[in-house]
Chains A and B, each alone.
Chain A
Amino acid sequence: MRRLINQQPSRVWGIALSLLPFALLLLIYVLASDTRLAENPQDKLLPSFEQMGDAIHRLAFEPSKRTGEYLFWQDTLSSLTRLGLGMLIAASLGMLFGLGTGAFPLAYSGVAPLLTVVSLIPPMAILPILFIVFGLGEVSKVALIAIGVTPFIARDIQKRCLEIPREQLVKAQTLGANSGQILLRVLIPQLMPRLIDAVRLSLGSAWLFLIAAEAIASTDGLGYRVFLVRRYLSMDVILPYVAWIALLAFVIDLVLRKLSLWAYPWQESRS
Chain B
Amino acid sequence: MIEIRNVWKRYGDNVILENISSTVKEGEFITLVGASGCGKSTFLRMLLGTDVPSQGEILLDGKPIADEPDAERGVVFQQYSVFPHMTVLENVTIARAFEGSALGFLWGKRKRAAREEAMAMLDTVGLSHMADRYPDELSGGMRQRLAIAQALILKPRILLLDEPFGALDPGIRADMHELVLSLWRKHKLTVFMVTHDLAEGFHLGTRLWVFDKLRVDPQAPNTYGAGITYDLPVGACEPELLQEIDSGLSSSGQELAS
Which residue numbers of A lie inside 8 Å of B, CB to CB? Answer: 165, 167-168, 170-178, 180-181, 184-186, 189-190, 264-266, 269-270
- Measured in the bound complex, the distance between the Cα atoms of B95 and A175 in whole Å is 5
Assess the B69–A168 pair: CB atoms within 8 A.
no
Which residues of chain A come closer than 8 Å to B103, judged between CB atoms?
Answer: 180-181, 184
Most B-side CB within 10 Å, residue of A167, A175, A177, A185:
A175
Question: What chain A residues lie within 8 Å of B105 (beta carbons)?
Answer: 184-185
Which of A177, A178, A180, A266 meets B85, CB within 8 Å? A266
Q: How far is the CB of B215 from chain A (nearest CB, A)?
A: 33
**Known contacts A165-B80, A181-B98, A181-B103: A170-B69 contact under CB 8 Å:** yes
**B75 touches which of A170, A176, A178, A180 (Cβ 8 Å):** A170
Given A167-B79, A174-B151, A177-B104: A185 touches B94 (CB 8 Å cut-off): yes
Known: A171-B147, A176-B98, A180-B102. 6 other contacts (CB 8 A): A165-B79, A170-B69, A175-B71, A176-B71, A186-B83, A190-B83
Interface string of B58-83 (1 = CB under 8 A from A): 00000000001111011101011111
Contact A174 B85, beta carbon cutoff 8 Å: no
A192 to B, closest residue via Cβ: B85
Say whether A174 contacts B75, CB under 8 Å.
Answer: yes
A176-B154, A190-B84 are known contacts. Are A170 and B98 too (CB-CB below 8 A)?
Answer: no
Answer yes or no: B183 CB below 8 A from chain A CBs.
no
Contacts of B82 in A (CB 8 A): 171
CB neighbours (8 Å) of A181 from chain B are: 98, 102-104
Asked whether B94 lies within 8 Å of A174 as measured between CB atoms, the reply is: no
Residues on the A chain within 8 Å of B48, using CB: 170, 174
The distance from the CB of A261 to the nearest CB of chain B, in whole angstroms, is: 13
**Cβ-defined contact, B134 with A266, below 8 A:** yes
CA distance A14 to B151 in the complex (A): 48
- Check if A176 sits within 8 Å of B99, measured CB to CB: yes
Q: Which residues of A contact B98 (CB under 8 A)?
A: 172, 175-178, 181, 185
- Give chain B residues whose Cβ lies under 8 Å from the Cβ of A174: 48, 69-71, 73-75, 151, 156
Return chain B residues, CB-CB under 8 Å to A186. 83
B67 CB to nearest chain A CB (Å): 12
Give B223 Cβ to nearest chain A Cβ, in Å: 30
Range, interface on chain B: 35 or more
Say yes or no: is B136 at the interface (Cβ < 8 Å to chain A).
yes
Q: Please list 26 pairs of residues, one from A and one from B, whose beta carbons are closer than 8 Å in the complex, sorted by A's number.
A: A165-B79, A167-B80, A168-B81, A170-B48, A170-B77, A171-B77, A171-B81, A171-B151, A172-B94, A172-B98, A173-B68, A174-B73, A174-B74, A175-B94, A175-B95, A175-B154, A176-B71, A176-B99, A180-B102, A180-B103, A190-B83, A190-B84, A266-B134, A266-B136, A269-B134, A270-B136
Interchain CA distance A42-B73 in the complex, whole Å: 83
Given the complex of chains A and B, what is the CA–CA distance between A190 and B134 in angstroms?
Answer: 13
B2 on interface, CB distance cutoff 8 Å: no
The answer on a CB contact under 8 Å between A175 and B85 is no
**Known contacts A184-B103, A184-B104, A269-B136; A173 and B70 CB within 8 A of each other:** yes
Residues of A within 8 A of B70 (CB): 173-174, 176
Chain A at the B interface: mostly helix, strand, loop or mixed? helix
Do A175 and B134 touch (CB < 8 A)? no
B55 interface residue per 8 A CB criterion: no
Q: Which residue from B80, B151, B153, B154 sits with its C-beta under 8 Å from A168?
A: B80
Q: How does the 8 Å CB contact mask read for B112-140 relative to A, with 1 for contact and 0 for none?
A: 00000000000000000000001011000
- Inter-chain CA distance A74–B86, complex, in Å, is 44
Most buried by B among A165, A180, A185: A185
Q: Does B50 belong to the interface (CB within 8 Å)?
A: yes
CB distance from A11 to the nearest CB of B (A): 27
B97 adjacent to chain A (CB < 8 Å):
yes
- Decide: B104 and A185 in contact? CB cutoff 8 A: yes
> A172 to chain B: closest CB distance in Å?
7
Name the B residues within 8 Å of A168 (CB-CB): 80-81, 83
Top 8 A-B pairs, shortest CB-CB distance: A165-B80, A176-B71, A181-B104, A173-B69, A175-B95, A167-B80, A269-B136, A177-B98
B41: which A residues are within 8 A, CB to CB? none
Q: Among A170, A264, A269, A270, find the residue whose CB has the most chain B CB atoms closer than 10 A.
A: A170
- Given A171-B150, A184-B103, A266-B134, are A189 and B95 neighbors across the interface (CB < 8 Å)? no
Most buried by B among A167, A174, A266: A174
What A residues does B95 contact at CB under 8 A?
175-176
A189/B85 in contact, CB under 8 A: yes
Cα distance A178–B80 when bound, in Å? 19
